[in-house]
A and B are shown apart, each in its own frame.
Chain A
């Protein structure tokens, strides 16, 4: 088998190579066959990821007493033993990026490890950044998901983008994105994480603004980029604080220093507590909010739907937006040490889930409904992570995986509809498409059911896990000092349940409006109005199957939780609660809510739409607020963009008219003078002579006139002939500095001839 070190290098290298090759050869050589390169590369990455995941998960699972069906065979493979005895987490260093000698002192590192006690003796430590890749269970799961979804999306894009002018550009960007995303989850260093965090942001920016001729697309790209900068600013500050405290940014342990998330530190539980830890966690969470579109930085994700739909599926539903979840899960030891940060994470997550769900109810743009649904589901995941229990984290990551499948499916289905409707995505303009696009209809239905959380589809299991985790947390804090926490989590449970209801409702609202009712096709559709080609429907079917069964497969026997528990740090630091008996209650509740939401949507949206108008009138303020997305965009426009715009206008005017004006003046004055002087340059030789003579006369006058003797009676003298001079030098008396010539002593040149 393959060494995990090799696999870790291959996984990001293949998409990068494909991206570079497509960028170089695409426009001239490959042209319409760019996709082949990328699909092959992504297939290779997927195979490598699966192999890596098998090795990592079985190695970690070795010796643990469980008999998961899925990896019983894997555990029996002989390779597993080798790796379990070797380094517990495979890692590989590509090269040393930066090395600063004596950049920090050991006191910083020991401050953290000694729990806040400053160490008396401080030794200088070297600050080194290695390009180190590291694959634990969390990474392996993410890798498989990322490469799998991106492979399907790449195949789907062959059909979706088939007559686009930027065909090669699209596949190059996607390759670059997959490289960045795999490197993000593989990196074993906060700085490296940050670099690829930005890299996926850049790819997202490029792909949102893929149709840059469209003003909305370029504006959306800009918006995504700028809103993400706010989050990244917090992330960067968090990294600075980590370095100040820990003296290193590595996750892994090195011989010099224990890594931030290294085994040594986790085992020793050497994490600072209190306000500093909370500060670190909240700063990191600001970054996660930006990337994962949480309140108040959620505004960019709906606008990001201006990009091509496969991009929305890949980047803005399945992979990149989950980077924030991944990062918070990765930093579980830090969050666990903080104590308070989890409440913030859970609170923000729950609030965002509710907010986005409310907005999604009234949106008429199919992709925007899905985008707000994504925001809502991401809020769900943060809620689960914020709970902080092992079950909560497992539930959050579980939902991440299942959500990736069914949301990618929904987006690709929406893309299929959009493709058929000639680019129209407004649900008011089409309807009743189920006969026209049967495959899309059925796969979309499966996706909707999964998203709504109906038994036994994927969404049911993961959403149920989240609700259960929240419910358990509330129950665990039942009495005493933690009463407030219990109240808090009880409210969150209510919010999450209501959101589950909302999710079912808006999902099926979109589904019914699109596929049922009177068949309406907008005129833009033209000859496109038919089922999509196989290259698009086959990925839909694969994803539909996964959306249906992945939840059960991963949930049965707690497979996913066991996999995730092999991640060092997650089981060691989180607190365990005993499994309560409430799961059946939660499952029943969520199923009732989902069915209720679906039924309500069917009641309102199947058939005539008269009922819903009455409801909308009845709930007019709420309807308007929801339809206006709670006015976040105008609010930000007024509070942040407006003042900044005014400032920029001021700077622009200063630059344009003051500074540029000065510079232009500097350039303009010589032109004016030159314009005067160029009239002198008229080609008349005699004028030039005249100019020379006038200048010569001025010089001669300046030399001669002051040296003339002052007349005895100044009143009689002609003022024109004698220039007044403060200290006239009398002619005949040379200036004293000059040696007086002695005429008599000069040799006589003519003497020889006489």
Chain B
């Protein structure tokens, strides 16, 4: 079996599983979809090259599996509340992946900003806008088959491009530079103690203007959000738009 065939099987299973999992008219087949999706993730896992030592491998595979599976769950569960919660799980696992990959600060930031702030905000909005729970439009997906097929093609193209030997640089720029400070266990390329300090130093020296711009952006967004939200309060009573709600 060539890599392409494996990946084709993976993409097919993925697409099929995604189609079965997505909200549809019929509830049947979701378990089969879960099985197929799990199989697809497993097949893809077998195609990956273990990156290093055993601990690292275990950590990576576990976190990656949690990330992907919870992402699938977030997209396919019918309740938006569950979606938000699974998204939080996915974000947490991604933070773990960041830690494994030597980006400790980002891992923490992801947890704080995404899982801590944004997901909570989602839940608040859900509470405000959809207090009655599950609505009919959460049980109907738009063009599930077409989207699943295109997504399957997309993951096939992505994985075959990434996993075919030779498409990526075959040698890391600093592969031989293991001596100059890279930890032996393959964890962060820079010393852990110096990491946040180094990021901070870079952030406020090299990227100072970007930081300022982002700060301004945040402020503007704050004002805008407040303005929009207050405007909506004064807005006239809901009018019936054509289409939409049946």
A and B touch in the complex (CB under 8 A): yes
- From residue A687, how far is it (CB to closest CB) to chain B in Å? 7
Cα–Cα, bound, A687→B171 (Å): 42
Segment from A172-180, A661-669, A708-716 that makes contact with B: A708-716
A87 to chain B, nearest CB (A): 90
Structural contact, B153 and A697, CB atoms closer than 8 A: yes
- Minimum CB distance partner of B243 in chain A: A683
Contact A701 to B4, CB < 8 A, known contacts A732-B167, A748-B174, A754-B194:
no
B151 to chain A, nearest CB (A): 8
* Cβ contact within 8 Å between A721 and B142: no
Instruction: List 7 interface pairs A-B (beta carbons < 8 Å), by A numbering.
Output: A686-B142, A690-B143, A690-B146, A708-B164, A720-B8, A732-B170, A754-B180
CA distance A754 to B166 in the complex (A): 31
Question: A532 to B150, alpha carbons, bound, how many Å?
Answer: 94
User: Contact partner of A731 among B164, B172, B191, CB < 8 A?
Assistant: B164
Q: Mark A600-618, 1 if CB is under 8 A from B, else 0.
A: 0000000000000000000
Q: A717-B4, A731-B164, A753-B202 in contact; A687/B180 too (CB < 8 A)?
A: no
B153 shortest CB reach to chain A, Å: 5
Residues of A within 8 A of B172 (CB): 743
Partner of B173, one of A700, A704, A733, A746: A746
Chain A residues closer than 8 Å to B4, beta-carbon distance:
708, 711, 717-718, 721-722
A743 touches B171 (CB 8 A): yes
Give residues of chain B (7-29) contacting chain A, Cβ–Cβ below 8 Å.
7-8
Q: How many angstroms from the CA of A711 to the CA of B4 in the assembled complex?
A: 9
Contact of A718 with B5 in the complex, beta carbons under 8 Å: yes
Say yes or no: A743-B157 contact (C-beta < 8 A), given A693-B150, A711-B4: no
In the complex, the chain A residue whose C-beta lies closest to that of B206 is A749
Residue in chain A with minimal CB distance to B182: A754
Known: A731-B164, A746-B173, A753-B201. A711 touches B2 (CB 8 A): yes
Given known A732-B165, A743-B171, contact A754–B181 (CB-CB < 8 A): yes
Residue of chain A at shortest CB distance from B1: A716
Q: Which residues of B contact A687 (CB under 8 A)?
A: 142-143
Q: Could you tell me the distance between the alpha carbons of A721 and B156 in the complex, rounded to whole angstroms? A: 9
Is B147 engaged at the interface, CB distance under 8 Å to the other chain? yes
Residues of A at under 8 Å CB distance from B?
683-684, 686-687, 690, 693-694, 697, 700-701, 704-705, 708-709, 711, 716-718, 720-722, 730-733, 741, 743-744, 746, 748, 750, 753-754
Find B194's partner among A709, A716, A753 (CB 8 Å cutoff): A753
Instruction: Give me the 5 closest cross-chain CB pairs, A-B, nearest first.
Output: A732-B166, A753-B198, A721-B4, A731-B166, A743-B173
Residue B237 at the chain A interface, CB threshold 8 Å: no
> If A732-B166, A754-B181 touch, does A694 touch B198 (CB 8 Å cutoff)?
no
* Residues in B neighbouring A721, C-beta threshold 8 A: 4-5, 7-8, 156, 160
Evaluate contact between A693 and B154: CB separation under 8 angstroms.
yes
**Docked-complex contact B190 and A750, CB < 8 angstroms:** yes
Closest Cβ–Cβ distance, residue B243 to chain A (whole Å):
8
- Please indicate which of the listed interface residues A693, A716, A741 has the most CB atoms of chain B within 10 Å of its own CB: A693
Question: B143 contacts which of A686, A704, A716, A743 (Cβ < 8 Å)?
Answer: A686
Instruction: Answer whether A701 and B153 are a contact pair too, CB < 8 Å, given A709-B164, A748-B174.
Output: yes
Bound CA span A508–B194, Å = 132
Most interface-central of A683, A701, A732 (chain B CB within 10 A)? A732
Besides A687-B142, A700-B157, A718-B5, 20 new A-B residue pairs in contact (Cβ under 8 A), listed by A number: A683-B243, A684-B142, A687-B143, A690-B143, A690-B150, A697-B150, A697-B154, A697-B157, A701-B153, A704-B157, A705-B157, A708-B164, A717-B2, A721-B5, A721-B156, A731-B164, A731-B166, A731-B167, A748-B174, A753-B202
Q: Is the CB of A750 within 8 A of B153?
A: no
- Chain B residues numbered 164-195 whose CB sits less than 8 Å from any CB in chain A: 164-167, 169-174, 180-181, 189-191, 194
Chain A nearest Cβ from B12, distance in angstroms: 10
Residue on B with the closest CB to A694?
Answer: B150
Name the residue in A687, A718, A721, A730 with the highest tally of chain B Cβ atoms < 10 Å from its Cβ: A721
Chain A min CB distance to B136 (Å): 17
Q: In the complex, A683 Cα to B243 Cα: how many Å?
A: 10
Residues of B in contact (CB 8 Å), total 37
* CB <8 Å contact, A704 and B169: no
Closest to B180 in A: A754
- For A708, what are the chain B residues with a Cβ–Cβ distance below 8 Å? 4, 160, 164
Please give me the residue from chain A that is nearest to B154 by CB atom: A697
Contact A690 B157 (CB under 8 A): no
Min Cβ gap A519→B in Å is 80
* A468 CA / B4 CA spacing, docked (Å): 118
Contacts of B130 in A (CB 8 A): none
Residue contact A750 to B189, C-beta cutoff 8 Å: yes
Q: How far is the CA of A744 from the CA of B172 in the complex (A)?
A: 9
Shortest Cβ gap from B109 to chain A (Å):
19
Which of B2, B153, B172, B198: most chain A Cβ within 10 A? B2
Interface presence of B161 (CB below 8 A)? yes
Partner of A704, one of B160, B170, B174: B160
A208 smallest CB distance to B (angstroms): 62
Residue-wise interface mask of B (193-208) relative to A, using a CB-CB cutoff of 8 A (1 in contact, 0 not)? 0100110011000000
Residues of A within 8 A of B164 (CB): 708-709, 731
Taking the closest CB of chain A, its distance from the CB of B208, in whole angstroms, is 15
Asked, given contacts A693-B154, A717-B4, A718-B8, whether A743 binds B194 with beta carbons under 8 Å apart, the answer is no
Complex interface: chain B residues within 8 A of A741 (CB): 169
Q: In whole angstroms, what is the CA distance A693 to B146 when docked?
A: 11
Cα–Cα, bound, A708→B197 (Å): 43
Residues of B within 8 Å of A684, CB to CB, are 142
Residues of B within 8 A of A690 (CB): 143, 146-147, 150
Report the bound CA distance from A705 to B173 in whole Å: 27
Bound CA span A197–B71, Å: 93
**B175: min CB distance to chain A, Å:** 9
- What are the residues of chain A within 8 A of B180 when measuring CB–CB? 754
Min Cβ gap B44→A in Å is 15
Q: Report whether A716 and B2 are in contact in the complex, using a CB–CB cutoff of 8 Å.
A: yes
Residue of A nearest to B12 (CB): A720
Which chain B residue shows the least CB distance to A685? B142
Q: For the complex, what is the distance from the CA of A741 to the CA of B190, rounded to whole Å?
A: 25
Question: Is B198 within 8 A of A750, CB to CB?
Answer: yes
Contact with A along B129-161 (1 / 0, CB 8 A): 000000000000011001100100110110011
Residues of chain B within 8 A (CB-CB) of A754 are: 180-181, 190-191, 194
List A contacts of B161 (CB < 8 A): 704
B205 to chain A, nearest CB (A): 9
> Which residue of chain B has the shortest Cβ distance to A686 in the bound complex?
B142
In the bound assembly, the distance between CA atoms of A720 and B166 in angstroms comes to 21
Instruction: Quote the shortest CB–CB distance from B165 to chain A (angstroms).
Output: 7
With a cutoff of 8 Å between Cβ atoms, the chain A residues found around residue B8 in the complex are 718, 720-721
- Chain B residues near A700 (CB, 8 Å)? 154, 157
Closest to A716 in B: B2
- Which residues of chain B are near A718, meaning CB under 8 Å? 2, 4-5, 8
CB distance from A342 to the nearest CB of B (A): 89
- CA of A697 to CA of B15 in the docked complex: distance in angstroms? 15
Q: What B residues does A683 contact at CB under 8 A? A: 243
Kindly provide the distance from the CB of A453 to the nearest chain B CB, expressed in whole angstroms: 91
A743 to B176, CA, bound (A): 12
| Residue ID in chain A nearest B165 by CB atoms | A732
